Structure 1
Amino acid sequence: MKNIFLTLSMLFTSMSSTLAQESQNSLRAPAYPLITIDPNMSAWSPADKLYESAVSHWSDNRPLPLVGVLKVGNTRYRFMGTEDIELMSLVANGEDKAWEAKYTTTQPQGNWTAKDYPDNAWLVGKGAFGTAENESLSKTNWTTEKIWVRREVMLSEAVTGKNVFLEYAHDDDAEFYINGIKVLTTGQATGKNRRVKLEPAVLESLKKGKNVLAAYCHNRGANGFLDMGLQVERSGKRYFDQEAKQVYADVQPMQTNYLFDCGGVKLKVSFTAPLFLDDLQLLSRPINYISYEVTTAKPEAIAIYFEAGPHWGLNLPSQEATSTPYTRDGLVFAKTGSAAQNILGRKGDHVRNDWGYFYLVGEQSNSKTAVGSASALRAAFVNEKPVKDGKQEGTQLSLTQTANVNGTWKGKIALGYDDVFAIQYFDQNLRPYWNRDTKQTIESQFNAAFAEYETIMAKVKAFDQNFMRDYQVHGKAYAELCALAYRQAIAAHKLVESPNGELLLLSKENDSNGSIGTVDITYPSAPLFLNYNPELVKALMNFIFYYSESGKWQKPFAAHDVGTYPIANGQTYGGDMPVEESGNMLILTYAIACAEDNASYAQQHWNVLTTWADYLVEKGLDPENQLCTDDFAGHFAHNTNLSVKAILGIASYGYLAKMLGKDQVADRYLSIARDMAKQWEQMANDGDHYRLTFDKPGTWSQKYNLIWDKLLGMDIFDPQIRAKEVKYYLSQQNKYGLPLDSRETYTKSDWILWSAVLADSEQDFQAFVSPVHAFMNETVHRVPMSDWIFTDKPERRGFKARAVVGGYFMKMLAEKYTRR
């Protein structure tokens, strides 16, 4: 026996060494992608070890219970998720239902957090509090800079000895108190659906009868939001206390791979999303795989158990769910969804679909599914007894596979989601792309997924290997960041077909305001899609063109968005970004033309492109007080980087005209762009760098928009401008990257990767990339990659799970255009 364990130990060591030699991803990800289907159906692991934390929804941070256990003989090793006891609402927050509170927007006197504080003069409102036009959960419109809130709650009994959590949301800085005791201070940050366990002193203060939750929030710009409630842990027995030992975690573009030691038995688990951007049917198939490989040194009775909560088909765990197991065409299914099935009835940020159905599926030959309470399912697995007819009380799902193993055993399951209808597009409900002809069923998709499994996995392996090899030409750090960004950028979109047959790839602005089809999300994410399939970049723009060309949007510049996900009936964002969005659309239209070596797409939309170009000619050189894509920084005028975008947007129009044989138009607009660029250089020059705004010497900013001049060979700006900027940027870097501008220490990681490509030397490029990699490797915030981060500390300023990390692919896009 001792020799067997020694042999296995040597095997694990050898495998780990081999992985390092093959340049697998050594990045300690902020969070690890597991299931990546679409904006509202993606689950990540926020921990170094897969079993250290509950699997979580990627944008609202709440658990999507998914547990994995390997049984070796009679010993059970939990390798995935936590056996969390269910949390119940003790005091509902505003997402569950509106709550009444007293509030003021002027600094209160005295100890305003105390239980007996006289708040009779305060205003009365409903929570949650927030900027109503951009926060769909806001019940009271809060538009001032600061707010103080007192919420009186009545408890039917004391909670001493129980695990109680404050569930809260804030945008931006907030402080929370219970009966005058401070629970936490968030610092300068934002967050939704966060939770903190209450300390004993706070628990002691929570008595039967009246209690007071109090909070202060400081909105530093753009949206404001404040919400709070209490949750309590339900008591229950635990069955899976013993954890496997994780040997490694490895994130590849389409797979996340783990290796575990289960008492000397090796378990390799892979989470696969076959997101091939040139195969739209497969790209839109709402199914991911969990595959595994068990290796033993002697004969063992092995069983593997997967359990999922009904939360996968709900917005809130308190909603009523229906779950059922069934068998069809050689597959076994465990299915769950909301009882209400309010199709497309919920929109906004930090929400999930609570319509349609989630599935846990295996092959009938070696899989058993069941539905019941968590305790009943776990007891049945432990005792090797069936859950009778799947009729036990409860809506948890389980799937079990068993084998007698002497050597290697391979298996797989699939998880999927059928949302029935995916998007409402100008008042017409659209089905997901995979079922656009209404002739498909989710069962047929699962059958195809299992039938094509071997072929798909071979393609995935080849893609991942080639990806890591090719991207490492620009440094291992760059390859590792892009590998982590790949699924994140894609899963933040939904693919559908419009009523007139156009392809639509609609983004959700995760962890921001939930907008759908945001142009300034399209712009930074475009490098990924331009790299792999320009048709998808058209799909990111078609709805904006339609919005203007249909007359539904009548302003002389491009819209910001087409609604709030998943309702795309027209812009819902509170402020326009005239220069920003018009420049984005023009530049990307020209980028498509360059990728395809023709301007036919531009020809289809020439009239509206002309309107936008003329707007930029009039308004673009010295922009008025307005928002740009970095809207969190607020309105400001004379933005030099925005001016660069306007000038290159005009130039893009000129080059498109040239490609279409409109030579006189081309000459006119290219001449205007070059004249503007000369004026820009004089107006923005600040010695060894260029200013943040034309009117403020001593300031600076990243001029990431300049990249298109270099990338597309426009020859509009003097190349020395780029060289000067890059040299200055290198002198301004902090430990975790280059600040966005001279005002703050925070930055946007996607823009750093664009600014890095302005550099002509590989050494300088990697000098910009390395700090971003260090941030992702060391950040204390365990969430899908954030793009809004601090450069002087390993903390995110805000945002997570957003598509904009597709901008990391700018370097590879530059190579692609160079090879044209």
Structure 2
Amino acid sequence: MEIKKMKGILLLLGLAVAGLSSSFAQGTQNGLRAPAYPLITIDPNMSAWSPVDNLYEGAVTHWSDNRPLPLIGVIKVGKTYYRFLGTEETELLSLVSNGEDKPWAAKYTTKQPGGDWTAPNYDDKNWLAGEGAFGTFENEPLSKTNWTTDRIWVRREIVLNEQVANRDVFLEYAHDDDAEFYVNGVKVVSTGQATGKNRKIKLNERALKSLKKGKNVLAAYCHNGGGNGFLDMGLQIERADKKYFMTEAKQLSADVQPMRTNYLFQCGDAQLKVSFTAPLFLDDLMLLARPINYLSYEVTSPKTQDVELYFEAAPNWALNLPSQESVSEHFESNGLVYVKTGSVAQKLLGRKGDHVRNDWGYFYMAGEKSATQALVGSPSAIRASFTGGKAQDNASGRQLALIQKGRVSGKLSGKIAIGYDDIYAIQYFGQNLRPYWNKTGQENIEGQFERAFEEYGAIMKRVDEFDTGFMQKYARFGREYAELCALAYRQSIAAHKLVEAPNGDLLLLSKENDSNGSIGTVDVTYPSAPLFLYYNPELAKGLLNFIFYYSESGKWQKPFAAHDVGTYPIANGQTYGGDMPVEESGNMLILTYAIARAEGDAAYAQQHWNVLTTWADYLVEKGLDPENQLCTDDFAGHFAHNANLSIKAILGIASYGYLAKMLGRDQVADRYLAIAKEMGQQWEKMANDGDHYRLTFDKPGTWSQKYNLVWDKLLGMNVFDDQIRKKEVAYYLTKQNKYGLPLDSRETYTKSDWVLWTAVLADDLPSFQSFVKPIHAFMDETVHRVPMSDWIFTDKPDRRGFKARSVVGGYFMKMLEEKYGSQ
């Protein structure tokens, strides 16, 4: 209780201090302690977040692979250098490479071994030989040995050429699902029920002392509980470098708005306000697609004095691995000063998959020439240049820095812009597509930066108005709801890439971050869609166009919708290992009707009528009592007779009927609506379990969230009796845990997006908030400092898996209900 009181006092103090600034007091401050704070949010492969409470306490990291994207901010006030952004990361060098870098030889078994199988002298001669990483080939492209059983034990013999006991050594590991890792028989980590990629942990003293020059053994066990399997491991070692920026600013507040993250610092007798802005206006496609964010600042001081600001980035921003060879430079053009970096290889669209980044194209920082100096060189050299110190003898690295100087007399403002030119963004059925901002091939990144600076004032005014209006409007449904949606806004949008198809279609292609890296996954589109339906139905069409094309072109010939169109950024056809026939067909039909309702016109459905008919007929045949197949909650595995999936099929058929009605096809409408309503009545009898409805038709005593019912309410379909929804809500309120409503009766985990949909099933605001507040509490208290996870435990502040996914766009379902209700 006392901790909570103190937290509240500190929050109020932070708000009061932040309120001293007009730019920070324009709207309602977000009191949520974000699991991670969005800083740069451009696209799936160019998104950087801060996983710490104070911006200077840890490195800025890539949002899905957790690797550092070194970005440092320092302000000189008087004679003191205050670091307010990032850390002087000591570079980690590869001591023993993992499988992402190159394959590694190992011995493995899929049967429980006897004896101490982790010990260096264990006899593994009867084990199989293979190469790491180990994983399912279908959905883990970094796998070198196909692992398809539920359990695996792996031993990797390594040779060290030096003594490392006096150095900091880290285990770098990846696992899906539960895993244990050992160094020379010493347990280093036991992950518990979780998944993770590109994790690092410092070796404990015993493990470190066990490492010796010559032969050593890394060992691991992994249990794949369902879906994908993956196991990888290696070692990294810290290189000692001199540090120049040891004094930290004092952070006074952090505030996540929909388009900005604002920080306030005390730096000696000066205050520094810093804003990271991504002007992601969903009704302005060229600005939405412009691959540039702002880092702006404002310094206030009680006395007139000189200040200097220093912004440093590493080539990592344009690389997949920091060990890749890069080239950096600085130059001037049309009144702007740039620093630029990129890989030497420049293999356009040459890398795909999850937990990887672009290593083609170029990363930029830019500032106005009148106020900016550019530096490129080793970390030691450019830091020494800024501080007037002596450079350490370290020629490695081609760091980038911008320095801005000014004299503050009351207030001093400035800015830099950060951007990325990926040259080509997506391969779409064999054709390389440029990003939307350069869809004609006639633009260049310098022109985009010039516009970004020319339009800065007007853009920031629009951002102020949007953020202020957003927080006020959303807060009508509760402070917690507004704060969650503010954090979800950039996360959902940045998980997509906007391009134009050769036929002129708008394509808004998602990357399934921290799952399997699929591109354009339909059951990721489905939960993400409310955000785009609410703000711009044209973008909602962009989420569907490629799936329609896939079927209508004949490239996909099955009588149901595809799961995806490839592995990001290669969209040449489905690569996921299993189909989800009822799931994806229902998703496509429901979302097509949702678009028609948002626009008040079914012309879009008319364009795709033949394939919609095929999918609707499939659902008529297979949808009422689904056979043993995956649904969007595929992490729970296959199971038959899924009552919630049946709801989706029935509402998909109803959606087709209502679309036919909007198009004047009355006979077709009457037929399919009658089928849907008859199926709805059968569903009620099959699923009824007294005071609630079952998880599966054949298992009494079970239950699940029937989140798919939300469309029946929002779109006024009247397929299911309202009493079903009301009975379910009443039952759910008895099943909640501290951090939310479990997904179903089998596990304590849940999906936060589905909980927010379930909340909308409630007719009264207090019940809605009863579902929202535990999710807010989880995000505020979770120990996992990553962009919001949608797969979380409800009885402890741990995520089960997933992060940085677009599905948090589903949080906007409450706003979508209001939009449809006002029509």
When normalised by structure 2's length, the TM-score is 0.97
Deviation at 1:406, TM superposition (A): 1.8
1:161-214 residue CA offsets vs partner (Å, 9 max, x unmatched): 111100000000000000000001000000000000111211111000000000
Does structure 1 residue 196 correspond to structure 2 residue 201? Answer: yes
SS in 1 for 2:20: helix
Distance 2:57 2:43 in 1: 25
1:50 corresponds, among 50, 55, 64, to 55
| Number of the residue aligned with 1:695 | 698
Deviation at 1:462, TM superposition (A): 0.3
Distance 1:772 1:264 in 2: 39
Distance 1:18 1:378 in 2: 31
Map residues 296-335 of structure 1 onto 2, 5 A cutoff.
296-335=301-340
**Unaligned 5+ residue runs, structure 2?**
1-12
2:160 corresponds, among 138, 145, 155, to 155
Distance 2:401 2:656 in 1: 56
| Number of the residue aligned with 1:33 | 38
| Number of the residue aligned with 2:100 | 95
Distance 1:57 1:745 in 2: 29
Distance 1:17 1:475 in 2: 25
Q: Counterpart amino acid of 1:228?
A: M
| Number of the residue aligned with 2:278 | 273
Matched-pair contact (CA < 8 Å) for 2:18–2:24: no
Does structure 1 residue 68 correspond to structure 2 residue 73? Answer: yes
Distance 2:791 2:642 in 1: 20
Q: Counterpart amino acid of 1:57?
A: H
Does structure 1 residue 413 correspond to structure 2 residue 412? Answer: no
Map residues 162-561 of structure 1 onto 2, 5 A cutoff.
162-383=167-388, 394-561=397-564
Deviation at 1:385, TM superposition (A): 9.9
Matched-pair contact (CA < 8 Å) for 2:756–2:771: yes
1:363-414 residue CA offsets vs partner (Å, 9 max, x unmatched): 1000011110011110000018999xxx976311000000121210000000
| Number of the residue aligned with 2:5 | none
| Number of the residue aligned with 1:782 | 785
Does structure 1 residue 674 correspond to structure 2 residue 677? Answer: yes
Distance 2:698 2:18 in 1: 61
Distance 1:13 1:346 in 2: 43
1:584-618 residue CA offsets vs partner (Å, 9 max, x unmatched): 00000000000111100000000000000000000
Q: 1:198 to 1:611 in 2, by over 3 A?
A: same
1:425-471 residue CA offsets vs partner (Å, 9 max, x unmatched): 00000000000000100000000000000000000000000000000
Distance 1:195 1:561 in 2: 31
Does structure 1 residue 812 correspond to structure 2 residue 823? Answer: no
Distance 1:394 1:116 in 2: 40
**Unaligned 5+ residue runs, structure 1?**
1-7
1:693-748 residue CA offsets vs partner (Å, 9 max, x unmatched): 00000000000000000000001000000000000000000000000000000000
Deviation at 1:235, TM superposition (A): 1.3
Matched-pair contact (CA < 8 Å) for 2:474–2:482: yes
Matched-pair contact (CA < 8 Å) for 2:548–2:608: yes
Deviation at 1:224, TM superposition (A): 0.3
1:563 corresponds, among 563, 566, 587, to 566
Matched-pair contact (CA < 8 Å) for 2:18–2:25: no
1:483-536 residue CA offsets vs partner (Å, 9 max, x unmatched): 000000000000000011110000000000000000001000000000000000
Distance 2:374 2:542 in 1: 39
Deviation at 1:15, TM superposition (A): 3.3
Distance 1:385 1:306 in 2: 19
Matched-pair contact (CA < 8 Å) for 1:371–1:392: no
Matched-pair contact (CA < 8 Å) for 1:621–1:643: yes
Distance 1:70 1:201 in 2: 41
Deviation at 1:759, TM superposition (A): 0.2
SS in 1 for 2:819: helix
Q: Counterpart amino acid of 2:564?
A: D
Q: 1:685 to 1:571 in 2, by over 3 A?
A: same
Distance 1:10 1:357 in 2: 38
Distance 1:296 1:15 in 2: 13
SS in 2 for 1:731: coil
Distance 1:33 1:385 in 2: 35
Distance 1:677 1:585 in 2: 19
Q: 1:544 to 1:130 in 2, by over 3 A?
A: same
Q: Counterpart amino acid of 2:684?
A: E
1:203-232 residue CA offsets vs partner (Å, 9 max, x unmatched): 111000000000000000000000000000
Matched-pair contact (CA < 8 Å) for 2:26–2:468: no
Distance 2:531 2:480 in 1: 17
Seq. identity, %: 75
Matched-pair contact (CA < 8 Å) for 1:371–1:394: no
2:122 corresponds, among 113, 117, 130, to 117
| Number of the residue aligned with 2:686 | 683
Matched-pair contact (CA < 8 Å) for 2:14–2:253: no
Deviation at 1:12, TM superposition (A): 3.4
Q: Counterpart amino acid of 1:818?
A: G
Deviation at 1:16, TM superposition (A): 9.2
Distance 1:142 1:761 in 2: 49
Matched-pair contact (CA < 8 Å) for 1:16–1:248: no
Q: 1:537 to 1:9 in 2, by over 3 A?
A: closer
| Number of the residue aligned with 1:5 | none
Deviation at 1:74, TM superposition (A): 1.5
1:77 corresponds, among 78, 82, 86, to 82
Deviates more, 1:765-774 or 1:197-206: 197-206
Distance 1:160 1:643 in 2: 59
| Number of the residue aligned with 1:135 | 140
| Number of the residue aligned with 1:4 | none
Distance 1:771 1:131 in 2: 35
Matched-pair contact (CA < 8 Å) for 1:250–1:256: yes
| Number of the residue aligned with 1:660 | 663
1:26-64 residue CA offsets vs partner (Å, 9 max, x unmatched): 000000000000000000000000000100000000000
Q: 1:480 to 1:445 in 2, by over 3 A?
A: same
SS in 2 for 1:661: coil
Distance 1:772 1:564 in 2: 30
Deviation at 1:23, TM superposition (A): 3.1
Distance 1:225 1:202 in 2: 24
Matched-pair contact (CA < 8 Å) for 2:15–2:253: no
SS in 1 for 2:347: coil
Matched-pair contact (CA < 8 Å) for 1:547–1:553: yes
1:633 corresponds, among 632, 636, 640, to 636
RMSD (Å), alpha carbons:
1.6
SS in 2 for 1:672: helix
Q: 1:640 to 1:93 in 2, by over 3 A?
A: same
Count of equivalent residues: 810
1:644 corresponds, among 631, 644, 647, to 647
Distance 1:512 1:173 in 2: 15
When normalised by structure 1's length, the TM-score is 0.97
Q: Counterpart amino acid of 1:571?
A: Q
